[in-house]
Copies of this chain bind each other. A is one copy, B any other.
Amino acid sequence: MTVTLIGVGLMGGSAAIALRRCGWATRLLGVDSSAEHAAQALSLGLVDEALPLAEAVLAADVVLLAIPVNAARGLLPTILDLLRDTAVLVDMGSTKSGICGVARSHPKRAQYVASHPMAGTEYSGPAAADGAVFDGKKAIVCEQHLSADFALNLALAMYRKLNMEVLFYTDPEAHDRHVAYVSHLSHASSFMLGLTVLEVEKSDRHIFDMAGTGFASTVRLAKSSPETWAPIFMQNAASVSFALGRYIENLQQFKQRIDTGNAEGLAALMAEANKIKKIIQ
């Protein structure tokens, strides 16, 4: 199977390692708008060749689209135009509504599978590629009824090889609304926590001497790439903004109970939040 990776960063590079290791990909072609990343992917052995877009797509049995979501949406029609009749395009973006909207009117829509592997780390670029990153995680597929059987089956086979559980989420708008809460909001929360503490460090130099494991785990996502995340927030602006608004209201309520000495009310809010134990082990 010839696999073309458009984007050889964390996601594309990780897929390359895992799909080569299991034998599913026998030839890996890389496309990247950064010449440096393309060269790095070659020298790391993630891909066999770095090629221009058209050449790489024409040679592919399957194309994996793993670039920032705004660029992915823009490039999708061109890739579908180039795609051979038996080939399949799978995108790996974290937002699905925009790209599904663009794909819907394309004559080769059936060759496209709109997916979102819920995996990753806070690192980015080819050097961050890690063949284990998908292992045991979930991959969402949207608008599966618009994909041809052969395309859907190929995507499912690939995710099975990556040891991912596939969940169908027909409606891309519902996907984006939900993922705003369980992924995008976590990133916003972490980015701004990092920023808040860094601002204070300017006057209180030794503040990080005290940082423990709790701080490390809540601030981990603040290391994520702005190039990846600004487009995600922008493409999911309405849902992320709504979720952020709710989050800010809850933080204001929390602060207000501290300010008014309402220890009981504060404990009640925390007890309510404790119910997350039932869901996240």
Residues of A within 8 A of B (CB): 118-120, 137-138, 140, 167, 169, 174-175, 177-179, 181-183, 185-201, 204, 206-224, 226-227, 229-231, 233-234, 237, 240-241, 243-248, 250-252, 254-255, 258-259, 261, 263-264, 266-277, 279-280
Contact = CB atoms under 8 A, between A and B. Distances in A.
A169 B169 CA distance: 52
A266 B230 contact: yes
Contacts of A183: 210-212, 214-215
Given A138-B210, A223-B274, A258 B279 contact: no
Q: Which 10 A-B pairs have the closest CB atoms?
A: A226-B270, A194-B273, A230-B267, A194-B276, A226-B267, A186-B218, A192-B250, A118-B212, A195-B273, A191-B273
Nearest to A272: B195
Contacts of A227: 267
A183 to B, nearest CB: 6
A9 to B, nearest CB: 16
Nearest to A70: B263
B280 A219 contact: yes
Q: Summarize A's interface: helix, strand, loop or mixed.
A: helix
A255 B241 contact: yes
A280 B216 contact: yes
Contacts of A275: 194, 198
Question: How many monomers of this chain does the complex have?
Answer: 2
B193 A247 contact: yes
6 contacts: A138-B209, A181-B207, A190-B273, A218-B221, A230-B270, A234-B263
A226 B258 contact: no
A118 B222 CA distance: 22
Residue in A179, A194, A201, A218 with the greatest tally of chain B CB atoms within 10 Å: A218
Given A119-B212, A222-B276, 4 more contacts: A175-B210, A177-B204, A178-B210, A226-B267
Contacts of A250: 192, 195-196, 199
A197 B216 contact: no
B230 A200 contact: no
Given A181-B197, A218-B218, A255-B245, A279 B211 contact: yes
Contacts of A187: 214
Contacts of A215: 182-183, 186, 280
Contact of A223 (B119, B258, B276): B276
B254 A244 contact: yes
Contacts of A248: 248, 251-252, 255
Nearest to A133: B213
